[in-house]
Each structure stands twice: as structure tokens, then as C-alpha cells.
Amino acid sequence: MDLYEHQGKELFARHGVNVSAGMVAFTPEEAEAAARELGGQTVVKAQVHAGGRGKAGGVKLATDPADAKEKAENILGLDIKGHIVRRLWIEDASDIDREYYFSINFDRTEKAVLLMLSTEGGMDIEEVAEKTPEKLATMHINPVWGLRAFEARQLAFRAKIDADVRNKVVAMMLQLYDAFIKEDAMLVEVNPLLITPTGEVKALDSKFSVDDNALFRHPDIAAMRDVHAQDPQEQMAHEKGVTYVKLDGEVGILGNGAGLVMSTLDVIQQAGGKPANFLDVGGGATADEIVASLEIILSDEKVRSIFFNIFGGITRCTEVAQGIITALEQLDVRVPMVVRLDGTASEEGLQMLADANLDNVTIADTMLGAAAEAVKLASVATV
């Protein structure tokens, strides 16, 4: 789960990391009030789950409350890489002397925690890594022992952090590591890590991503989920406990098992179509879950046909068949469906579908045959 900048900073502050004071605003009026409360110059920052906010015009300096209101009017509603700005973070403006970069990554390949530190902050770190790799210092930390102060110091020396702020940067790295571990983060990034003219060290931005599987022990973070930022379908899927990712094609996909569903998206494209979604009903799906899943897929108006690709393992194909039959009774299903059932209880499941004599359901024997049929039906329906 990706957090907004202001949510990440809230977690930073809990672990002692120095951040600017600020307030959330959803309207220009709230932005004005926030700026008045904070006093002095403020920065109006778009809160979206995307990088490149500055370039997109999503971060503006405001001289006074009236100016903050005006800047907020301009920023709210902006489309930043497909994300509409609905909330703002108004914070005290900072004087900038130097900008550094620091990140903590969950390195699945090395089974370790990867730290990256650079004096080249405020820009795209991938570019720094490519063009001037000598300016990016990296270090793997054994997660069993955790980050020791001497290691953070070593990294600071390697990155050629200026002597006047070295100790403060080291202290902040230790605080951020603490946040990374205690909050079950998959990524913590501070870019820029700001040095003010008076030598204050501050996390001016925050990228914070938390492991979904660990949210059960962080109810406070789970509550930070912004339901409005999700597609309505994704929100519905979240409520029903189904794994759904919205895509932009016209063939709805319902399958079981992540790998098989990914493969199903691929064969739809290979057959000349475009998948409308990724939907994994998971193992041991019940008829009710099939109905709920179909409801989610059908709420996407672009869907022109639906491809059921089920290989029964724990999942029984009879449950899937029952789900399809029930859904057709309960829902107003106008798009044609192609069903391919294999594995556990597939023969009985197919028999159930045949007996139900359903108008707009086509049975296919193979995955490729079913994909071709679903794409064909979708293209006919669009015409």
C-alpha cells in the first residue's frame, strides 16, 4: 500500500524524523485556512500516488493565505499521470541550501535491506545511477542485526556528505531505518533530504510503501487507505476480498490463481484483443464469490465479453458453474461469456452449464480457443 507524502511524513515524525509542519486540505478554502494557521510562506503540494508532481505543476509556493487559496484552486483537479488531485498538503516553506537523496529498499534478491545515499538530491535517482553512478553510495544491511551507526557513518563518508551536517544525516538515516522496520515498509524514500542554510536537516518529501500482508498489525496505516483514489471497481473488489486490477480493454477476465490469470491476459492480447481487467478469485472460490466477481467486472462499462478461465485445484468447477448460473439469474448480464473449465470437477461443472441451457454462454475446450472466441465476441459487440 502506497502512502501519500503527508501520511509518510506522519510516520516519519513518529520515529523522530524532522519534517515541516503542515495540514491537509481538500478545498481552496481549507488551503487558505491552513496557510493562515501555519503563518508565513507556505507550499501547496498535490497529494497523489505518482512522481513528477513538481514538473506537472502540482507543487507551488504561496506567499500568503489568499495566494495559497489561489494555488490550491489551480492544483485541485489536475491530472498527474492519470491521478486526479483531490487532496493537498499545505506546509511551511523551507529555505533550501543543499538537496540530498536517501532511500531504504526491501531487496528481495539479496534478502537484505538496501540503503542508497547521494548528494545529488531533488532529481530522478535512476538518472543519477545511470549518468554519475559514483555519486550514489549503496550498502546492504543484514536484516537480522539491523543498521548500526557505524554503517550509516560509513555510507555517509562514501557518499561524501558534507562534514557540517554528517552527524545529523547519520541520525536521520537511523531514524528512517527504524521507521522502515517498525512500520513494515517495502520502500522508504526521501528526495530531497533537505539541508537549510542554517544547517537544519529535514525530510522535505516522503515516499512510503507498506507491505499489504502486514497491515493487520498496523490498523492505523490500514485506515489511511484513500478509497476515493481507487477505481470504483477496485474499491468494490477490495470490499469483497477479490484481487482485481483495472486495465483499459474490452474483454473481462475471471480466473483462478495469479499466474494463470496473468497468462490469460497475455493470450487475450495474442488473440488480438485487450483485457479489461485482472481478476483472481483465488483458491477454493464459492458460487457467491463468482457472482460478486462478475458484478465487479460488469460494473466496468467498457466490457464487451467475459472470459472465464478456471483450472480447478482447490477450486471446484461445480462451484464456478453454480456461480455463473446464479449470476445470470440475479444480474442483468448483457455481454456474452466464454467459459473454459478444467481440473477438479470440471466434467460435472460443464454438465451443469449444459443442463442450464444458457443463451449467452459459450463453452470452450482449450484456453487458446476460448481466448479467440472471447475476442471475437467482444469485437462483434463493439460494432
Partner 1 sequence: MGVLVGKDTRLVVSGITGREGSFHALNNRKYGTNVVAGVTPGKGGMDVEGIPVFDTIADAVAQTQANTSMLFVPPRFAVDAIYEAADSGVEVIICVTEGIPAHDMLLAYHYVKEKGVRLVGPNCPGVCTVGEANVGIMPAHIFTPGSVGLVSRSGTLTYQLGKELSDLGIGQSTILGIGGDPIIGTNHRDALALFEADPDTDMIVMVGEIGGNEEELAAEYIKEHITKPVIGYIAGLTAPEGKAMGHAGAIISGNSGTAQGKVSALEAAGVKVGKNPTEVAHLVAEARGVAVPA
Cβ of residue 309: shortest distance to partner 1, in angstroms? 9
| Contacts of partner 1 in 36-95 (CB under 8 A) | none
Give me 221's grid cell: 496505516
Cβ of residue 315: shortest distance to partner 1, in angstroms? 8
Name which position in 73, 97, 178, 184 contacts partner 1 (CB under 8 A): 184
| Number of residues forming the site for partner 1 (CB under 8 A) | 49
Q: Residue 97 or 184: which CB sits closer to partner 1?
A: 184
Enumerate the H helices of the chain as residue ranges: 5-14, 28-38, 65-75, 125-131, 149-158, 166-182, 219-222, 232-240, 258-270, 287-298, 317-330, 346-356, 367-382
Q: SS3 letters for 45-79?
A: EECCCCCCCCCCCCEEEECCHHHHHHHHHHHCCCE
Q: How far apart are CA 88 and CA 108, in angstroms?
A: 33
> Residue 238, interface with partner 1 (CB under 8 A)?
no
Please give the span between the terminal C-alpha atoms of the chain, in angstroms, as a whole number: 39
Name which position in 66, 149, 227, 314 contacts partner 1 (CB under 8 A): 314
| Contacts of partner 1 in 191-230 (CB under 8 A) | 211-214, 216-217
The CA-atom distances, in angstroms, between 8 and each of 3, 50, 190, 285 are 6, 14, 10, 36
Q: Residue 227 or 314: which CB sits closer to partner 1?
A: 314
Q: How far apart are CA 287 and CA 177, in angstroms?
A: 45
Q: Residue 239 or 365: which CB sits closer to partner 1?
A: 365
Collapsed DSSP state (helix, strand, coil) of residue 371: helix
Q: Residue 13 or 186: which CB sits closer to partner 1?
A: 186
Give me 314's grid cell: 482447490
Name which position in 121, 252, 275, 323 contacts partner 1 (CB under 8 A): 275
Cβ of residue 2: shortest distance to partner 1, in angstroms? 9
What CA dihedral angle connects 20, 21, 25 and 30, to 10 degrees? -130
> Residue 363, interface with partner 1 (CB under 8 A)?
no
Q: Which residues are catalytic?
A: 101, 189
Report the alpha-carbon angle 141-120-145, nearest 5.
10
Q: Which stretch binds partner 1 (CB under 8 A): 24-32, 69-77, 84-92, 306-314?
A: 306-314
Say if CB 11 and CB 212 are below 8 A apart. no
Q: Residue 278 or 307: which CB sits closer to partner 1?
A: 278
Name which position in 63, 167, 299, 366 contacts partner 1 (CB under 8 A): 366
Helices 317-330 and 346-356: crossing angle in degrees, nearest 10, is 20
Q: Which stretch binds partner 1 (CB under 8 A): 148-156, 192-200, 325-333, 341-349?
A: 341-349
Q: How far apart are CA 64 and CA 26, in angstroms?
A: 18
> Residue 330, interface with partner 1 (CB under 8 A)?
no
| Contacts of partner 1 in 87-146 (CB under 8 A) | 106, 108-109, 111, 126, 142-144
Sort 86 into a burial class: Cβ within 10 Å, 0-12 / 13-18 / 19+.
Answer: middle
> Residue 4, interface with partner 1 (CB under 8 A)?
no
Site for partner 1, rule CB under 8 A: 106, 108-109, 111, 126, 142-144, 181, 184, 186, 211-214, 216-217, 243, 245, 247, 255-263, 265-270, 275, 278, 280, 283, 311-314, 342-344, 366-368
